[in-house]
Structure 1
Amino acid sequence: MCDTARNNNRRPETGTAFTALCSTTVTPHPDDGDTVKGTCFAPACQVCTILLARAMNWNDGELGQLVQTFHWTHADIALLATALDITRSEARRLLTAWTDAAK
């Protein structure tokens, strides 16, 4: 998901790199159909998916259900922590809290 605040309000364009919500640099491929809409949402990025859900005001239980659909590696947790400007430990606790809220 393109973070317009970090990209001078530019829409994603095929072949042009941009910074995603998760802080990763992404270059849309011609087969990425969502770039036409200006979103370039890649559901494969679980961190961007969680950040988008938070931005849409999903409650903790809903976030917990979403969190459980992914396999979270140490690298994913570190990326989430960076995106939220928190520590890895805080990110792990947040994922646990969301998961518990989904029960």
Structure 2
Amino acid sequence: MERYVWARFFWQQARDKRGVPRRHVCDTARNNNRRPETGTAFTALCSTTVTPHPDDDDTVKGTCFAPACQVCTILLARAMNWNDGELGQLVQTFHWTHADIALLATALDITRSEARRLLTAWTDAAK
């Protein structure tokens, strides 16, 4: 199973429509089974459309300085079947803004209130 997960998901530094670089997860199943390519937009696991920029091409340079998208991080952990306690520990490593919670809600196709409750449930499971 894990081999499939890693063949399906790829970390890629990419920029959103405002030009903000972040490290996102590309789900090849949602992107015509294609890996991310510089200059070609893809839909990240967090449901944001992002584009790898030539100045940020970490696959060529081997480095990445942008922070990871926390929603992509959480959703990748879910895809890898982390339990609620493990997700709760991961959730606690991030500072969750209203915008982050809204993005999580969009990615999971739930309301913001449901996303807040889900984050709380995961955090409680980690105790």
Asked if Structure 1 and Structure 2 have the same fold, meaning a TM-score greater than 0.5 normalized by the shorter chain, the answer is yes
**Alignment TM-score, normalising by the size of structure 1:** 0.86
Alpha-carbon distance in 2 for matches of 1:42, 1:96: 27
Q: CA RMSD, aligned part only?
A: 2.9
Gaps of 5+ in 1: none
- Runs of 4+ that moved beyond 4 A: 31-43
Matched, 1:18 2:46: no
2:54 to 30, 36, 40: 30
Gaps of 5+ in 2: 1-24
Q: Number of aligned residue pairs: give it.
A: 103
Greater RCO, 1 or 2 (C-alpha within 8 Å, sep 6+): 1
**Deviations 1:59-82, CA, capped at 9 Å, x for gaps:** 000000000000001110011011
Matched, 1:40 2:64: yes
Higher mean C-alpha deviation, range 57-66 or range 41-50: 41-50
TM-superposed CA distance for 1:30, in Å, is 3.8
Alpha-carbon distance in 2 for matches of 1:15, 1:8: 16
Amino-acid identity (%): 98
Matched, 1:50 2:50: no
Q: Is the 8 A contact 1:11 1:39 kept in 2?
A: no
Kindly tell me: are residues 69 and 27 of structure 1, through their superposed partners in 2, closer, same or farther at Cα, counting changes over 3 Å? same
TM-superposed CA distance for 1:21, in Å, is 0.6
Between structures 1 and 2, the one with greater strand share: 2
